[in-house]
Structure 1
Amino acid sequence: MHGTLTRPDPAPRRNPLVLRLALRELRGGLSGFGVFLACIALGVAAIAGIASVSRSLSDGLGREGRRIIGGDLSYSLVNREATPEERAVLAREGRLDVVASLRAMAVAPVGDAALVELKAVDPATYPAAGDLVTEPQAPLADLLAGTDGVPGALADPALLTRLDLKPGDRITLAGHPVTLRGTILSEPDKIAGGIGFGPRLIVSQEALRGTGLVQPGSLSRWSYRVQLPPGTALEPVEARIAQASPEAGWSIRSRSNADPRFAQSIERFTQFLTLVGLTALIVGGVGVANAVHAFVERKRGSIATLKSIGAPGSTVVALYLTQVMLIAGLGTLVGLAVGASLPFLVEALFSESLPLPLNPSLAPGELALAAAYGLITAFAFAITPLGRAHDVPVSGLFRDTVDPARVAPRRRYRIALALALALLVGLSVATAFDRRVAMIFIAAAGIAFALLHGVALGLMAAARRLPHPARAAPRMALANLHRPGALTPTIVLSLGLGVTLLVTLSLIDANVRRTISATLPAKAPNLFFLDIPSRDADRFRESLRAQAPAAKIEDVPMMRGRIVALNGVPVRQIRPPEDAAWVLDGDRGVTYAEAAPEGTRVVDGRWWDAGEGAGHLVSFEADLAKLLGLKVGDTVTVNVLGRDVTATIFNLRKVEWRNLGINFVMVFSPGTFKGAPHSDLATLSLPGGPDAATENRILRGVAKDFPSVTSVRVKDALDAVGDLVSRLVLAIRGASGVAILASLLVLGGAVAAGHRARLYDAVVLKVLGASRSRLLTAYALEYAALGLATAVFGLLAGSLAGWVIVAKVMHLEFRLDLSGALLAAGAAVALAVLLGLAGTARILGQKPAPYLREL
């Protein structure tokens, strides 16, 4: 028998030594890393949750695009209907559904009137996508059909409440009766209509034409929704329509880009909330540094042992960095789980009340970005305290108990820190919707950290130089501010960032609300009147004078136009800055005037005289012209009523928008639109400011004598905007609450990290005769001083940040209202004292003997 030579089994593969040691040490649990885990998980959850909800909204808009715009393609015109030739071009591509929308006044039988968002549809084709849910639920054609010669209508329940009506009652539109046949519970294309200033009212297009509201120049929008055959690609269809009707002046949307402006708003707001979440993560990074520093202190014996048996410093650092990053990975996973589940939670809890389509799903890219933020932040804040152990000799490590060594980390660790910070900055900028805003945030965060570090050093230097008080408790408190291992830098940094954020948000909130609820109503007109037939303008003005003799009345001709070219360059080829993109996106109100409008100031050029005004000239708003690169002598082409008109910029003017008076981006010379059909726009300002009784009396009079005129109460419009702002502020507060919670965690972690040093202090002082109350007094004074210093800094820095955001970014009038800010600062002082005392109370109850034996 021949023997066979067998190969021995290979040795089992083993993990690297550093990883094996790290995993072995972690078997003892995560004691001391509670704040570390919470800070990382909280920051990652905030970023992941915000990004996931944003992605779900974007996906929802994409998925529901066809329902939102009412078809595959939507072509809209303002102030005019499509010509038969233009309709034929659209109808060749697919089934056509036409919807008209405008604002009108609904008048109850008793004379009360309310502004409504009127939508006129074809019952045979509407809605082409989605479902219209009504009460009662019946075929739309039956609900809008006429009864006894009076057409039917469907109303938002809010209209019935406002005018004290019920189904079956009649209202009038421009003097023509309609019967309320039911209420609207759900409208599939509601989002496409934007912000509404009144309840919805749906009628048939036949009923709309019977009211006489549709006149040349009236402010109406006609949307032509094209339903394409299944599987049809969008791009060829769009190209054919553009070639067949190049001068129509369409505003175009498609199912794949249902609302580009709204999608941009989501991305912009998401970026802001993400930066707030990143603030929470960075604040939590201070807690990471505290926890790692305390971890290194607890491992002094293990480090000394490893180094005494020959382990190089780099191995020691690698061992504990591995442990720290494994723990950071755990915190990141927890944060990702919470953030990823947020869209599903929102859908489950608020699906019925959400005004937007939400498509909850996992967003791998956004979750990976949040994980990267968490791990990089953990590494950046951990590498410095870990690197300190590399070069400390064994004897120095043992001696750290009474004589802490201050060893700067080696160059390699400083380079690693710089690379981590650079990567963090790079990610923030590369993934930002507006990179300028991201850079401003990064610069502000860096300046805030530097200033807070300077405040801490200044406070310690001042405490070191101040004369020692005679009483024991104040003397101990003063010494605690600057002694080795003092909590001053950590508490000032964590609490200072939190207070600054609170003060900033408080000032932004106060100024925005004041602007909406106080300043604007004081300066703004009381009432706006739209769609005044030009033939009735004089009679309308006389009627207002009779009802309010002391009121200030302004009126101007108004049309709607869309900029189609600048200096001959089509707008689709222009990439405007974000602050000016809205001017080129959609229709703008335009007017013409012989003299400069009130509330404007010509800053370049001059106003035209009577002879010059006969030509095609335009006055352009100066700030927007600068953003668009326009100057005097350039040309602007606008499409008005389906006709392209090119005018030369004759002057640039500054406009005061905040008074809500009549003003336009573009004011043309009278000769530009000579003979063009138009309606008038008027405002009425009462001398005593808002007056509900007088306003209601005027509204009833206008509704009776001029039923086709649309009246808008400024207060109602501001309430609609204020409600939207309140929702945004609520979201900002929620995201900011995460950052503030991180600050509190870091503060509590800082107290816990200083537990060991405070323990030995308390033991020695108690042996020397210090009472519990005296020690508590000393600690209370120390924390109060730290809280007061950070509160002062937070007030100053937060006020500056609030001014920059309100005055320079929002372009609103800034007023320093410190009522909410002082409350935030006072709460910070109280929290600093309470958390500090809560952390030291347990220390003061310890028996001295066990700890004296360790000294």
Structure 2
Amino acid sequence: MLNTRDFRLALRFAVREMRGGLSGFLIFIACIAIGVGAIGGVNSVAQAITVGVASQGQSLLGGDIRFELNQREATEEERTFLAQAGDVAASASLRSMVRLADESDQTLVELKAVDDLYPLYGTFTSEPTLAQEDLFGLRDGRYGAAAPDLLFQRLGLEVGDTIRLGLSEFEMRAKIGIEPDFLSDGVGFAPRLMISLDGMRNAGLVQPGSLIEHAYKVRLPAGSTEADIAQIRDQASQQFPEAGWSFRSRLNAAPSLSSNIERFSQFLTLVGLTALVVGGVGVANAVRSYLDSKRPVIATFKSLGASGRFVFVLYLIQILIIAVIGVLIGLLLAVAMPFLAAAGLKNILPIASGGGVYPGALFLGAMFGLLVTLVFALLPLGRARDVPATALFRELGFEQRGWPRAVYLVAAALVAVVLAALAILLSFDRSVASIFVVAIVGSFLVLRAVGALVQWLARHAPRVRSTALRLAIGNIHRPGALTPSVVLSLGLGLTLLVTLALIDGNLRREIGGNLTDRAPNFFFVDIQSTEVEDFASLVAQQSPDGKLVRVPMLRGRITALNGVRVQEANIPPEGAWVLRGDRGITYARNTPEGTTLTEGAWWPEDYAGEPLVSFSAEEGREIGLKLGDTITVNVLGRDVTARISSFRDVQWESLGINFVMIFSPNTFAGAPHAWLATLMDSSATDAEEAQLLNQVTRTFPAVTSVRVKEALDIVNKLVEQLGSAIRGAASVALLASILVLAGALAAGNRARTHDAVVLKTLGATRRTLIAAFSLEYLLIGLSTAIFALLAGGVAAWFVVGEIMQFPWRFLPDVAVSTIIMALVLTVGIGLIGTWRVLGQKAAPVLRTL
């Protein structure tokens, strides 16, 4: 290391040299600013939403505490316990069918029934504004209802019109404006319809086994602390150990939203880090080009006795100062993002009022920016340290072969390891982050190999007669060629876009086409046991060629594994979803049709021993279960423990009736339950499906009918919107690639100017040189596009085919658009930079040779 005196001298020289401006580092600064801005901004917005959820937790939750029960209401003792804690507002949620008064049309709705205390926190608004009693109360023999404008449009309704729900008629009295606890209820695939609890009971929707979620929201006395909430939760668990209710507090008002925001922010953080890493190539190019321009200065320093270490520290200081400028610009962008998000999304997401500044998120972006700068700047700086003064005076460029000293290699490797470790440790899902880090390292190695392969092929290509093509091939493999930088920078961005485009295209193709053909036409939910035979007869009349499959249906929550409460068990993240919330469960005497056992055996038909369960093999493996283990499930407020007798393969993508758990029939003997059914009729037309839906809804108004095609259309639109948003976010990495590409071409302009002048002096025309440079860029761009197609195709196949278990197909339109994009970028940007080179006068350039 330098002593204090030499370091001050290096700092003084570094600042003095920078008085000439930053013209050679504009792309360097832009790359760092984009990456830092993306990382810092995304995490700032995520924290703003988290703060918003926390600050509005009472309104989002509808109370300070929320208890939820499935398929049953709270008992008198449980209601008394809750009432002792504070004011209690009860509500119920379920899916149901709404029909027009003349029953000519119907649609699925997400029904929410509330009591007179709703809402405990926040403000519910409607158009027109009505008091609670006027909005939902009984008037002229009909209860009132409110819905968003979407339901009015879907059924062609106006305020004041009458609808039929269950066994009753309701008057549509208002359109919903703001529903304060909407996000905590979870987002459904159907429009909301709000009525009163009395109206729901009057409609005959509450039946034994109906899939109704009952929520009890408690408003605690003013000044209640988190310790008070924890005490109430503990008391509820102790006094009612088998209640089976789930619990949320104002600190965890919308767990699904918070989890999704964390996942999406992690994805965007990784995209931003990708942009930074791609920009790191631009950093290396800029440092190398800058040191090339400082060749006489470095030679002078060394001739006057400056050590290589002094030269290294001097230019490292300059690079870090420039990096700090890029980081500061990126931080300004990051600071602005929460304010922009608060203005644009205030009616959709609970973002902290006014946006806010989040130092942790900004520090994360700045740290990543500086670490990437060091990783990519250390090696070219290390090379400059060891070049002797005579070589610097003698050489035209600053292109050296070989590696710098081991100390610089080790330093760069250590910084890279720290960067990778932070990316993993600070991620929401470390397994995903680990895969990302491995993929980035692998991509760098592969792309370097691809660049070397392209140069090797050019070097060994047969001699061609075309002068322009011969010059182009020579430029690809000559010393100091642009090939490695172009392939590396453009390859990463294009590969990411190809991967995302192929995943999105395959998902939309599968959901919009193939899955529709394989899936049932209808799902029917909440068929009462007393009506199941009549229901089957009606469906057989309306769809004689259809296949109706029906199974008993209950809801249960896994509360313990092998006697250990799930809250205390160490569950891998990939299997945690099975234990989160309630699961649909069923029982079966015989092995269901199409079931494939992977391990164990089915129980006998007349089995009457201890409760047994067949578990989904993949989910069981993810949780860590094995044959003979026990699981405890709370159903209807009673804990039931069953032993695993078999594992079976479940094809979730079929959209048929699938369950994680199938129990032996004696497990739930006498328990009230409803039935679930599917109808498959590949020959049914849209008109026939509409007629069947109308008949079922009119005859069995409490049965919920889900037309699969409509549900898949909604999912397809959501996937399309999400895909567009993700591709838009990923374009940040492509933008960095374009900047790096422009920087690489600019860095090579000095050598290219000499080449062009010499060739023009020897008789080459401008037309020949343009053709040569165009062909060079065309060949490099085509090679990069081919790699992006191969690598992106493999990555997309793995995600779609292996992880999502969907059929995979290569999409030619994606291939063509990628090739066109690569060629337009490389040839277009290359020619823009080359045009100025070709206009250089020969004499001034020749005098410098």
Q: TM-score normalized by structure 1?
A: 0.96
Q: Secondary structure at the match of 2:385?
A: coil
Aligned partners of 1:585, 1:85: CA distance in 2, in Å?
Answer: 26
Q: Distance in 2 between matches of 1:324 and 1:709?
A: 69
Query: Structure 2: which amino acid aligns with 1:118?
Result: L
Partner of 1:502: 497
Query: What displacement does 1:260 show?
Result: 2.7
Q: 2: distance between equivalents of 1:444 and 1:178? A: 57
Partner residue of 1:256 out of 218, 240, 251? 251
Amino acid of the residue matched to residue 683 of structure 1?
Answer: T
Amino acid of the structure 2 residue aligned with 1:425: A
Residues 428-481 of structure 1: CA distance to partner in whole angstroms, max 9, x if unpaired?
Answer: 111011211111111111111111111111221222222322332121111111
Residues 144 and 509 of structure 1: CA distance in aligned 2, closer, same or farther (over 3 Å): same
2:241 matches 1:246: yes
Residue 770 of structure 2: aligned partner: 776
1:675 corresponds to: 670
Report how far residue 14 of structure 1 moved. 12
Residues 620 and 665 in structure 1, CA contact (< 8 A), matched pair in contact too? yes
In structure 1, how many angstroms separate the alpha carbons of the residues matched to 2:692 and 2:276? Answer: 55
Displacement of 1:567: 1.1
- Say if 2:707 is the partner of 1:713: yes
> 1:193: how far off?
1.9
Structure 1 position 491 matched with structure 2 position 491: no
- Alpha-carbon distance between aligned partners in 2 of 1:466 and 1:824, rounded to the nearest angstrom: 26
Task: Tell me the equivalent position of 2:453.
Answer: 458
- Which of 9, 26, 31 in structure 2 is aligned with 1:34? 26
In the alignment, is residue 145 of structure 1 matched against residue 137 of structure 2? yes
The offset of 1:615, in angstroms, is 4.5
Q: Which residues in structure 2 correspond to 1:476-487 (within 5 Å)?
A: 476-487=471-482
Tell me how far 1:199 sits from its aligned partner: 1.3
**What amino acid is the match of 2:65?**
L
How do 1:25-174 residues align onto structure 2 when only pairs under 5 Å count? 25-111=17-103, 112-123=105-116, 125-174=117-166
- Following TM superposition, by how much is the alpha carbon of 1:509 offset from its aligned partner in structure 2, in angstroms? 0.7
Paired with 1:249 and 1:350, the residues of 2 have a C-alpha distance of 36
Following superposition of structure 1 onto structure 2, how do residues 318-357 of structure 1 map, counting pairs within 5 Å?
A: 318-352=313-347, 354-357=348-351
2:288 to 287, 293, 302: 293
Q: Deviations over 1:94-135 (max 9, x none)?
A: 111101111111110231111111111112x10001111101
In the alignment, residue 154 of structure 2 is paired with which amino acid? R
Letter of the 2:772 counterpart: A
Aligned partner of 2:167 in structure 1 is 175
Q: Which amino acid aligns with 2:561?
A: L
1:789 aligns with 2:786: no
Is contact 1:547-1:698 (8 Å) kept? yes
1:299-321: per-residue Cα shift (whole Å, max 9, x none)?
A: 01111111111111111111111
User: Aligned partners of 1:242, 1:613: CA distance in 2, in Å?
Assistant: 32
Q: State the match for 2:207 in structure 1.
A: 215
Correspondences of 1:806-825 after superposition (within 5 Å)? 806-825=800-819
Match of residue 511 from structure 1? 506
Q: Please tell me the residue identity of whatever aligns with 1:115.
A: L
Secondary structure of the 1:294 match is helix
Aligned to 2:223: 231
Aligned with 2:113: secondary structure? strand
Which residue of 803, 821, 826 corresponds with 1:827?
821
- State whether structure 2 residue 595 is matched by structure 1 residue 600: yes
**1:381-420 equivalence runs, <5 A:** 381-401=376-396, 404-406=399-401, 408-420=403-415
Q: Does 1:701 align with 2:695?
A: yes
Pairing partner for 1:560 from 532, 555, 562:
555
Deviation sequence 1:335-368 (CA, Å, 0-9, x none):
111012111112213323x245455221111110
C-alpha separation in 2, matches of 1:830 and 1:198: 44
The structure 1 residue matched to 2:726, chosen from 703, 719, 732, is 732
Q: What does residue 190 of structure 2 align with?
A: 198
- Give 1:375's aligned residue: 370
Query: Partner residue of 1:531?
Result: 526
Letter matched to residue 408 of structure 2: Y
2:56·2:350 contact (CA, 8 Å) conserved in 1? Answer: no
Distance, in Å, in 2 between the alignment partners of 1:131 and 1:545 is: 48
> Deviation string for 1:553-590 (max 9, x for gaps)?
11111011111111111111112111111111111111
Contact persistence 1:600–1:656 (CA under 8 A): no
Name the aligned partner's letter for residue 597 of structure 1: P
Which of 9, 27, 31 lines up with 1:17 in the alignment? 9
Distance in 1 between residues matched to 2:440 and 2:371, nearest whole Å? 16
State the alpha-carbon separation in 2 of the partners of residues 748 and 365 from structure 1: 33
Aligned-partner Cα distance in 1 for 2:547–2:44: 51
For 2:274 and 2:33, the matched residues in 1 are separated by 14
Code of the aligned partner of 2:699:
D
Q: Report the residue type matching 2:109 in the other structure.
A: V
One-letter code of the match for 2:842?
P
Amino acid at match of 1:20: R
C-alpha distance in 1 between matches for 2:274 and 2:342: 27
How far 1:404 moved relative to its partner?
4.7
Shift of 1:819: 1.8
- Read off the aligned partner of 2:769 and give its amino acid letter: L
CA distance in 1, matches of 2:800, 2:40: 28
Question: Per the alignment, do residues 801 and 402 of structure 1 end up closer, same or farther by CA in structure 2, a change over 3 Å counting?
Answer: closer
Deviation of the 1:407 alpha carbon: 5.4
Confirm or deny: 8 A CA contact 1:614 1:670 kept in the other structure.
Answer: no
- Work out the CA distance in 1 between the residues paired with 2:711 and 2:290: 57
Structure 1: runs of 5+ lacking an equivalent: 1-12
Match of 1:7? none
The answer as to 2:750 corresponding to 1:756 is yes
Cα distance in 2 for residues equivalent to 1:193 and 1:808: 32
Q: For the Cα contact (< 8 Å) 1:506–1:821, is it kept in 2?
A: no
Structure 1 position 733, deviation (Å): 1.3
Name 1:184's counterpart in structure 2: 176
How far apart are the structure 2 equivalents of 1:250 and 1:372?
Answer: 44
Query: Post-superposition shift, 1:613?
Result: 5.6
- Do residues 854 (structure 1) and 816 (structure 2) align? no
Give the letter aligned to residue 151 of structure 2. Answer: L
Alpha-carbon separation, structure 2, partners of 1:87 and 1:317 = 74
Using the alignment, how far apart are the partners of 2:449 and 2:311 within structure 1? 32
Paired letter, 1:299: K
SS at match of 2:632: strand
- Most deviating of 132-141 and 342-351: 342-351
Q: Amino acid of the residue matched to residue 412 of structure 1?
A: V
CA contact (8 A) 1:284 1:743 kept: yes
**C-alpha distance in 2, partners of 1:85/1:630?**
36
- Distance across 2 between alignment mates of 1:780 and 1:14: 48
SS of alignment partner, residue 523 of structure 2? strand
Aligned-partner Cα distance in 2 for 1:152–1:249: 32
Is residue 577 from structure 1 mapped to residue 572 from structure 2 by the alignment? Answer: yes
Q: TM-score, normalised by structure 2?
A: 0.97
After TM superposition, give the deviation of residue 145 of structure 1 in Å: 1.6
In structure 1, C-alpha distance between the alignment counterparts of 2:187 and 2:690, rounded to whole Å: 23
Runs of 4 or more consecutive aligned structure 1 residues displaced over 6 Å after TM superposition: none
Give the total of aligned pairs: 840
Q: Which amino acid aligns with 2:611?
A: H
Q: Is the 8 A contact 2:526 2:675 kept in 1?
A: yes
